[in-house]
Copies of this chain bind each other. A is one copy, B any other.
Amino acid sequence: MQYRRVGKSGLQLSALSFGAWVTFGRQVGRAQAREMLALAHDRGVNFFDNAETYNNGVAEQVMGDVLADLRFPRDSYCVSSKVFFGAVDKPLPTQRGLSRKHVMEACQQALQRLRVDYLDLYFCHRPDPETPVEETVAAMDTLIRQGKVLYWGTSEWPAEAIHEAHRVARENHFYAPVVEQPQYNLLHRERVEQEYAPLYEAYGMGTTIWSPLGSGLLSGKYNDGVPADSRLAQPGYEWLRESVLGEGDERLRKVRALQPIADELGGSLAQLAIAWCLLNPHVSTVMLGASRSEQLAHNLGALELLPRLDAPVAQRIRQAIGGA
């Protein structure tokens, strides 16, 4: 495994990591989850991402049970949670958002579900227009000083809001966010490459990126339509399906244009797409989702492809997706 510092911080995450996403406890049972976490840890993956909202807390429970069962040394991995969305069975305004009340309570609940004494990373899953940034940064600062969180970050915040968080932290001697968790892949590049560009230099922030396969499109698996067992076919994810396949023809054309490059390099389209993310030095880790061990093992193989993505190959990829 290759490890990367999260921006300029001292935390080093594995270049490929494992996000729990919503499937834990639904399509993915405890046995499968255990097998995948064991495989990932064995391959050197040291970051397991989660959130209060993933399967309404069940994803954290499953991960917590499996981690307790596997007994990895606590210093051999990092676990995260994210606060903002709450859970569908918790619809009250005090049960979501970034108020001090919800941030403190959500952290305590995540620690219990994940069965750990502290979170290595704690993310504000979205900006909360109904809470002043001061209140949220102060709550994160308290959690860090209390030892319940080691580092905190944002997820899908506009750059402007992140600037604001840093200003508040500086003025109040609060701990500042060290990481963003944005979507990033061959078909979704603007935020990470343009909008966030000033953040890397100004604050030394890193990124833990999600959806490297564009919700599966970049694996090529939707080329002939959505399989019945895909997440896109699950109830409640119609929005996701539309966003993935909505401008279908153009996105599909790009994906198909990438296939010959993957073939030539001797890897799959998915591996190519994952490895490509790591060409960006501001990507601290690429978070892989998976519902089967074989899929996870295959995607971890992207690291072997990475050395073959030299400058000419990168140039061909850019041309295929129509970028500069």
Give chain A's interface residues, CB within 8 Å of chain B.
3, 5, 8-12, 44, 46, 73-78, 90, 92-95, 97-102, 104-106, 109, 118, 120, 128, 130-132, 135-136, 138, 142, 144-147, 150-151, 172-173, 175, 204
Contact residues of A: prevailing secondary structure? mixed
Contacts of A204 in B (CB 8 A): 132
Q: How far is the CA of A128 from the CA of B11 in the complex (A)?
A: 12
Beyond A105-B75, A142-B144, is A135–B10 a contact (Cβ under 8 Å)?
A: yes
Q: Is the CB of B75 within 8 A of A135?
A: no
* A11 / chain B contacts, CB cutoff of 8 Å: 94, 99-101
The interface residues of chain B lying within 8 Å CB-to-CB of A75 are 90, 92, 94-95, 101-102, 105-106, 109
Using Cβ atoms and an 8 Å threshold, which residues of chain B touch A135?
9-10
| With A12-B99, A100-B150 as contacts: A175 and B132 at CB distance below 8 Å | no
Given contacts A10-B97, A10-B132, A78-B101, list 11 more A-B pairs with CB under 8 A.
A10-B102, A12-B93, A12-B97, A12-B130, A44-B92, A46-B93, A75-B102, A75-B105, A75-B106, A76-B90, A142-B147
Check B100 against A78 for contact (C-beta < 8 Å). Answer: no
How many copies of this chain sit in the oligomeric assembly? 4
A131 B10 Cβ-Cβ under 8 A = yes
Q: How far is the CA of A204 from the CA of B131 in the complex (A)?
A: 11
Find chain B residues with CB under 8 A from A101 CB.
Answer: 10-11, 75, 78, 120, 150-151
Take A101-B78, A120-B101, A151-B100 as given contacts and tell me if A92 and B8 are in contact as well, using a CB distance cutoff of 8 Å. Answer: no
Q: Quick one: closest B residue to A47, CB to CB?
A: B94
What are the 5 tightest A-B residue pairs by CB atom distance, in nearest-first order? A10-B131, A10-B99, A12-B93, A3-B93, A75-B105
Given A10-B135, A135-B9, A173-B172; A76-B95 close (CB under 8 Å): yes
**Using Cβ atoms and an 8 Å threshold, which residues of chain B touch A97?**
10, 12
